[in-house]
A and B are shown apart, each in its own frame.
Chain A
Amino acid sequence: MYTQALDSPAPEARPGSSGGQAALERRFEERIERDEKIEPKDWMPDAYRQTLIRQISQHAHSEIVGMLPEGNWITRAPSLRRKAVLIAKVQDEGGHGMYLYSAAETLGIARAELLEQLLDGRAKYSSIFNYPTLTWADVGAIGWLVDGAAIMNQIPICRCSYGPYARAMVRICKEESFHQRQGFEIMLALARGTGEQRAMAQDALNRWWWPSIMMFGPSDATSTHTAQSMRWRIKRFTNDELRQKFIDVTVPQAEFLGLKIPDPALRRDEISQHYLTGPIDWSEFKAVLQGNGPCNHERLQARRTAHEAGRWVREAAAAYAAKHGGRGAQPRSAAHIASPRAEAPCHE
């Protein structure tokens, strides 16, 4: 992604470049209207820029914090195959965080500032990652439901009006599909297993179902950002539309697994051909978002610990780079440099 580090000034900083704010805004709206992509150095209204910084950084933080609940099970995966798959998935999520931080940086915010916002608790991330992963079935349920919901959310963002965000999302969506399939495969193995394994799968579905459908955000009636984001073509569907799509594809998958969705009011409406759920408990969603979920504190603490534990690596790397004029050593064969993203233990 092109970034603000490019060496020419932003157009708005140049006097007399184009007749006035109103004209710039009109031209911007017209470009959006024509479905043109907005690129980092193009003029954009400040509210558009701030909305994108908020959305992309929250998305990036979610990918990063999202590594924790599943990373928690890497050492306890039931087979070498499952372990290799889980490592690959968690590594992908880290990669998604990196693509998205880069995209956010193109809007003029520094990586260090984004990290600081996460670590000092100012930034929000998806509330789903503040729930614990109590059994192996939770890893299955996360892949199936949480990645499933994420895909539903992310596919329309591939057509987002902001170029770097759209491109990051294309890359992410390509990688997400295996995440959901491996999760479903875990659920399938458990559902076809012993009575105890089936109970484990059902228990995971019971705990993850409602948080997953809340991942789409507040209902349209109360969502504050939806209308403007849709006008700017950052968003293509409303929260409720995406939630309904997810429910419609997921209910039959649960039926295939022989598991029961934990919603006594769930029914298929023959006229609209949609599955209708019972009321969603938004007070829980708000409580978790405000920091009172089961693992909010633990998640942030794990990130802070990782950041602190990696400090000496970052400092050593910076000192080494300064000493060698930013060139680094010549690659050795099969050399692996330690990653600065240190892992922290998570007690679930």
Chain B
Amino acid sequence: MSDDWPLFEVFIRARSGLEHKHVGSLHAADVRMAIEHARDVYTRRQEGVSIWVVRSSEIVASDPEEAEALFEPARDKVYRHPTFYTIPDEVKNL
């Protein structure tokens, strides 16, 4: 059996004004074919107006084992949210 074509991650913009969102992955010989396949596999029902493909091997991801070190420090900084502050009811437009 021949080797697999490289793997691509597919991102789709559902409507103009929205961001591209990861929808899945597929194999293709090159970027052009990756776009064509993404069209066939992920947009059969007008799910998108724009497609990005990127080789999966090009994506660098954070390590789940480091999730605490990365995200925990933000947990006790509730003062970054507007609800942290008490403002009298009479004050409007704030």
Q: What is the interface of chain A, defined by CB distance below 8 A to chain B? A: 1-3, 5-8, 11, 14, 17-18, 39, 41-43, 88, 91-92, 95, 98-99, 102, 105, 110-113, 115-116, 167-168, 171, 175, 311, 314-315, 317-318, 320-321, 324, 326-331, 337, 339
Chain B residues with CB below 8 A from A112, complex form: 1-4
The 6 closest A-B pairs by CB, nearest first: A328-B32, A328-B30, A321-B30, A317-B29, A5-B56, A321-B29
In the assembled complex, B59 has its CB within 8 A of some CB on chain A:
yes
Question: Is the pair B7, A105 in contact by a Cβ cutoff of 8 Å?
Answer: yes
Central interface residue in B29, B44, B59, by most chain A CB within 10 Å = B29
Q: How far is the CB of B59 from chain A (nearest CB, A)?
A: 6
Central interface residue in A17, A18, A111, A116, by most chain B CB within 10 Å = A111
Question: Is the pair B65, A91 in contact by a Cβ cutoff of 8 Å?
Answer: no
In the assembled complex, B57 has its CB within 8 A of some CB on chain A:
yes
With A5-B57, A41-B61, A99-B24 known to touch, is A326 a contact of B31 (CB < 8 Å)? Answer: yes
With A324-B30, A326-B30 known to touch, is A41 a contact of B63 (CB < 8 Å)? Answer: yes
Interchain CA distance A173-B56 in the complex, whole Å = 26
Interchain CA distance A208-B4 in the complex, whole Å = 37
Chain B residues with CB below 8 A from A7, complex form: 57, 59-61
Q: How far is the CB of B47 from chain A (nearest CB, A)?
A: 9
**Smallest CB gap from B6: residue in A:** A326
With A3-B56, A110-B4, A112-B4 known to touch, is A39 a contact of B64 (CB < 8 Å)? Answer: yes
In the assembled complex, B27 has its CB within 8 A of some CB on chain A:
yes
Chain A residues with CB below 8 A from B3, complex form: 112
Q: How far is the CB of A326 from chain B (nearest CB, A)?
A: 5
With A102-B24, A314-B2, A315-B2 known to touch, is A320 a contact of B59 (CB < 8 Å)? Answer: no
Chain B residues with CB below 8 A from A116, complex form: 1
Chain B residues with CB below 8 A from A98, complex form: 26, 41
Chosen A-B contacts, 23 in total, with CB atoms closer than 8 Å, are: A1-B24, A2-B61, A3-B9, A7-B60, A11-B64, A11-B65, A95-B40, A98-B41, A102-B25, A110-B4, A111-B27, A167-B24, A315-B2, A321-B5, A321-B29, A321-B30, A324-B30, A326-B30, A326-B31, A328-B32, A331-B35, A337-B32, A339-B40
With A1-B24, A98-B26, A337-B36 known to touch, is A42 a contact of B64 (CB < 8 Å)? Answer: yes
Residue of B32, B35, B44 touching A95 (CB-CB under 8 A): B44
Interchain CA distance A2-B65 in the complex, whole Å = 16
Q: Which of B1-50 contact A (CB under 8 A)?
A: 1-7, 9, 24-27, 29-33, 35-36, 40-41, 44-45
Question: Is the pair B65, A18 in contact by a Cβ cutoff of 8 Å?
Answer: yes
Q: How far is the CB of B13 from chain A (nearest CB, A)?
A: 17
Chain B residues with CB below 8 A from A314, complex form: 2, 5, 29
Residue of B6, B24, B25, B31 touching A327 (CB-CB under 8 A): B31
With A95-B41, A99-B24, A102-B24 known to touch, is A6 a contact of B65 (CB < 8 Å)? Answer: no
Q: How far is the CB of A65 from chain B (nearest CB, A)?
A: 18
Interchain CA distance A214-B11 in the complex, whole Å = 38
Chain B residues with CB below 8 A from A329, complex form: 32
